[in-house]
Structures are given as structure tokens and as C-alpha cells.
Structure 1
Amino acid sequence: MAEDLVLDTTIRDWVLIPLSVVMVLIGILRYFVSKLIRTFQNPDGKIVKEGQVVIRARNLRSSADFIPPKSFRARRTYYSNEENGILHVPKGQAPNPQAQMFSDPNMAMDMMKKNLSMIIPQTLTFAFVNFFFSGFVAAKIPFPLTQRFRSMLQNGIDLSTVDVSYVSSRSWYFLNLFGLRGLFSLILGEENAMDDTQRMMQMGGFGFDPSKSLGAEKDSLDIVQHDWVLPKFEQRAEAVLRKLAK
């Protein structure tokens, strides 16, 4: 049976609150350091153009039912025609982002700076937290959890008799690491609205591949089932008017 613990207020004052404050301050410091080492490059006109095409096609998909069928078919042909559609990327002409990175040293250097600005601070922060704050039960989740959450919430505490809802100090560090996106967006603005999960996912890539976005949008536009809502609206309006006339 899991034990119920009484958390000491000293742990709250000297572990929980300082750890949270340290994580916020490190996140803010890392944001300004990344701004200082960021390399500003003029955007590629082709990439900007293709991005705008994707946005226009996406707007067409979302508003397709508000235009007549003939107009929708004409627009879809303009976008996804296999011969000259602006969303169609011929085979063999798709750019290779990996080759583009190796051909442009500025792109490779900028990616290295972004990765280092994430890896080095997090490595030092984890070593700091593991040295000073490891081994404490820092907080308790106010709702029951299953045993599957034990490894996530009680990292560093090997006690199977402790209730799963208790959070260790090391797990609290990881919860802050991946859960402070909203707070950073509020403090630093929407420019910083990218958490560490997204950064880690981008570390394995070599940049933006516009051909994939164009192809995915083309496939999505091809399968759209057009259903013009205006005739139905007129029928509903007539039915409402007839009811009011009665």
C-alpha cells in the first residue's frame, strides 16, 4: 500500500521554489544569449514564395464550401494540376535540404549555434540540479495517477511504497523544462513560443524542406470533398421565412 507523506515546508522553501525560479531565469538568459549569437540572413525569395502558396492553398481548403463548385474546381486545377500546378513539384527537382546545408556554411553554423545554445545550458543546469536538489520529494499532484507515471514523476527516488502522485525534485526539473512554454511566451513574447521538445525534434533535421509542404498541401487539396453551402443556406432561409409567415 502506498504511503502518504507529509512534505516539510523547508523543502518547499529551499528546493521547490528555488528550482522553479532557477529554471525560469535560465530560460530567460538562454533566450537573450541565443538572440546575441543568432545570425541574421536575408530570407530566400523562393522559400517565401512557396510558403505563401501553401498558405493560399490552405485557405482555399478551409473556405472551399463558400465558393461555387465550378470556381473551386478551377482553383484546384490551378494549384494541383500535374503539368503546371503551382503546388506540383516535379520528380528530380525537389531540393535536398541536407545538400543545401553543406553547401551553405552560414546555415550549418547557424544550426550549430542553435543546438549548442540548447545543449550546453541544459547539460549544466541538469548537473546543477542533480548535485544540489537530487533526492527530495518536492511536491504532490492534487489528483490520483496510475503506476505508469511513477518513472516519470519519481525520477531519482527508488521507493515503490510512495504514492505515485508525489513528485521528486529531479522530475520537477523535467516538468519545468518542458512545461514553461506558456510562461516564457507571456514574459518574452510569441517569438519565444518554441519549447525544448520542438527544439529536440528539429535537431535531427537539416532545415526546412518546402517541397514536402507543397506536396502535402497538394494531396490535401486533391481529397477535399466540395459541398457548396449557399444553396442549402437559401433553402434554410426560405424554410425560416415560411415558418415566420405562418
Structure 2
Amino acid sequence: MAEDLVLDTAIRDWVLVPLSIVMVLIGVLRYFVSKLMRSHKAPDQKIVKEGQVVIRARNLKAAANFIPAKSFKSRKTYFTNEENGLLHIPPGQAPNPQAQMFSDPNMATDMMKKNLSMIIPQTLTFAWVNFFFSGFVAAKIPFPLTQRFRSMLQNGIDLSTVDVSYVSSRSWYFLNLFGLRGLFSLILGEENATDDTQRMMQMGGGFGMDSSKSLGAEKDSLDIIQHDWVLPKFEQRAEAVLRKLMK
């Protein structure tokens, strides 16, 4: 039988609220620190050019059925020609993003700065929470939960008789760590540097997107598109409508 606890208001005032405020302040501070540590350099002209080519190819696909078949074919050849098409990358000339990262010291330094700006504040904050607030039951969720949520919500409490809806201070730290993205988006804007889930995916994932893959994907999608002009004999129909209106 799960036990119901009566939470002291002092826990709310000295554990729950301070922990939440500290997590928000650390997130905002980390955003500005990472902004100061970020190196500013001119964008690569090749990358900008490839991005513009991809945008133009997508616009052509979106408006393919509103231009005549001959015009679409000439534009399609301009992009997908095997000799000098804008979307065609000859074999052996595709860039290697890992080699680019190791050849460019600024890229590796920026990645290290981003990882340090995430790891160091999290380590210090977790040590502070674990030292001062370990073992506290900080809050209670106002709806029932199954036993599967016990390990997630009661980290640091080894009591199986406590109801699952009670949240420990250590679990409250993790909930704030991964659940404050919406609040940071309101405070700092959509383009903020405090999304820890995406940073962890970047640390465990690749070193960057290969631009040749995006060009190749656009080339393949443009090759298989079926042209169906939606305005056949539009001029004749427009003239017929005008004649009827003039009568």
C-alpha cells in the first residue's frame, strides 16, 4: 500500500522554488556565455552558393506544373545535367565533413566550447543538488501514475512504499533540465543555445551535415518529378472569356 505524505511548506520554499529558479538562471547565463564564446567568422561562399541552389531547385519543383513542359525541361536540365548541372557533384569531389572539421581548428574549438558550456554547468549544478537536497521529496504530481515512472520521478529515494506521484529533488532537477525548453524559447527566443537534448544528440551523433547529400537528394527528387501542366491552352480560354464579356 502506497503511503501518502504531507509535504512541509518549508520544502517548497527552500527546495522546490530555489531549485527551479537556479535552473532557469543557469540556463540564461549559459546562453549568454556560449554567445560570448562563439567565434564569428564570415560564411563560406561555397556553402552559401549550394544553399541557394537547393532553394532554387525546390522552388522549381513547387512551381513545376505552372510552367510549360519545354520550359520545365530546360530548367531541369540546367540543374540535373550530368556534365555541368548545378546539382551534379562529380565522384571524388564530395566534401568529407569529418576531414573538414579536423582541418579547420576553429570548427573543433567551437564544438569543444559548446560541449564545455553544457557539461561544466550541469556537473556543478548536479553536485550542488546532490549535496544539499539529496533525499528530499520536493513535489507531488496531481494525477496518478504507474510504477514504471518510479525510477524517473523518485531518483535518490529508496522507498517502494511511497506513492509514485511524489517527485524527489534529484528527479526535479532532471525534469527541469529537459523540460525548460519552452520557457527558454519564450525568454531567449526560438534560436537559443540552451537545448540540452539537441546538444547531447550532437555529441553522440555526426560531425555535421554533408552538403553533397542535400544536393544529391534534390537532384534525385527533381529527376523523378512528373510534369503535368495545369494551364493548357490558357491563352485561348482567356481570350474566349474576354470575348464573352465584351459581347
TM-score between the two structures when normalised by the length of structure 1: 0.79
Distance 2:165 2:61 in 1: 45
Question: Which residue of the partner structure matches residue 101 of structure 1?
Answer: 101
Question: What is the DSSP-based 3-state SS (H/G/I as helix, E as strand, rest coil) of the residue aligned with 2:11?
Answer: helix
What is the CA distance between 1:187 and its match in structure 2? 1.5
Matches within 5 A, 1:34-183: 34-61=34-61, 75-183=75-183
Distance 1:86 1:127 in 2: 53
Q: Which amino acid aligns with 2:132?
A: F
What is the CA distance between 1:20 and its match in structure 2? 0.6
What is the CA distance between 1:72 and its match in structure 2? 5.6
Choose 142-151 or 120-129, whichever is displaced more: 142-151
Tell me the alpha carbon deviations over residues 79-115 of structure 1, each in whole angstroms, 9 at most, x when there is no partner: 4455444333333211111111121112211221111
Tell me the alpha carbon deviations over residues 98-143 of structure 1, each in whole angstroms, 9 at most, x when there is no partner: 1111211122112211111111111111111111122122222233
Tell me the alpha carbon deviations over residues 182-216 of structure 1, each in whole angstroms, 9 at most, x when there is no partner: 21122122331651111111124323421233234
Choose 128-137 or 46-55, whichever is displaced more: 46-55
What is the CA distance between 1:177 and its match in structure 2? 1.1
Question: Which residue of the partner structure matches residue 7 of structure 1?
Answer: 7
Change (3 A) 1:63 1:120: farther
Question: What is the DSSP-based 3-state SS (H/G/I as helix, E as strand, rest coil) of the residue aligned with 2:191?
Answer: helix
Distance 1:28 1:80 in 2: 46
Percent pairwise identity: 87
Change (3 A) 1:225 1:16: farther
Question: What is the DSSP-based 3-state SS (H/G/I as helix, E as strand, rest coil) of the residue aligned with 1:138?
Answer: strand
Distance 1:194 1:88 in 2: 37
Which consecutive residues of structure 2, in runs of 5 or more, have no partner in the other structure? 233-247
Distance 1:225 1:9 in 2: 67
May I ask how many residue pairs the two structures share in their alignment? 231
What is the CA distance between 1:21 and its match in structure 2? 0.3
Distance 1:101 1:14 in 2: 46
Distance 1:131 1:92 in 2: 55
What is the CA distance between 1:45 and its match in structure 2? 0.8
Choose 202-211 or 174-183, whichever is displaced more: 202-211
Distance 1:137 1:57 in 2: 56
Q: Which has the larger radius of gyration?
A: 2
What is the CA distance between 1:30 and its match in structure 2? 0.9
Distance 2:221 2:148 in 1: 37
Contact kept? 2:133, 2:169, Cα under 8 Å: yes
Question: What is the DSSP-based 3-state SS (H/G/I as helix, E as strand, rest coil) of the residue aligned with 1:191?
Answer: coil
Contact kept? 2:34, 2:193, Cα under 8 Å: no
Choose 222-231 or 52-61, whichever is displaced more: 222-231
Do residues 205 (structure 1) and 206 (structure 2) align? yes
Tell me the alpha carbon deviations over residues 14-57 of structure 1, each in whole angstroms, 9 at most, x when there is no partner: 11111110001111111111122211111101111222333344
Question: What is the DSSP-based 3-state SS (H/G/I as helix, E as strand, rest coil) of the residue aligned with 1:167?
Answer: strand
Distance 1:63 1:148 in 2: 51
What is the CA distance between 1:228 and its match in structure 2? 6.8
Matches within 5 A, 1:212-231: 212-221=213-222
Do residues 23 (structure 1) and 23 (structure 2) align? yes
Q: Which amino acid aligns with 1:215?
A: G
Choose 201-210 or 22-31, whichever is displaced more: 201-210
Contact kept? 2:88, 2:216, Cα under 8 Å: yes
